[in-house]
Amino acid sequence: MSTAPTRERRSRPEARCPLRPDEVCNLCQLDVTGPQDCGLVYLVMSDPDQRVEWGERRRAAR
């Protein structure tokens, strides 16, 4: 009796939220496909003051 070769299933890597690096991007909005088109990420990264604050919090968390 021969057995069929088993194939390993490969999963796609889960995108991490850039604003909450410990969390997976949970696609908070219906039309979002990941962090690359997330409105919240866009707002934080396009505002210089928020971007500086985000960077400081990220460094403090490390």
pLDDT digits (tens, 9 = 90+) for 4-61: 666 666 676 677 788 887 778 877 777 888 888 888 888 888 999 999 998 888 888 7
Q: Which residues contact 51 (CB under 8 A, 6 or more apart)?
A: 44, 45
Q: Distance (Å, rounded) from C-alpha 13 to C-alpha 47? A: 29
Burial 37-55 (b: 16+ CB within 10 A, else e): ebeebeebeeeeeeeeebe
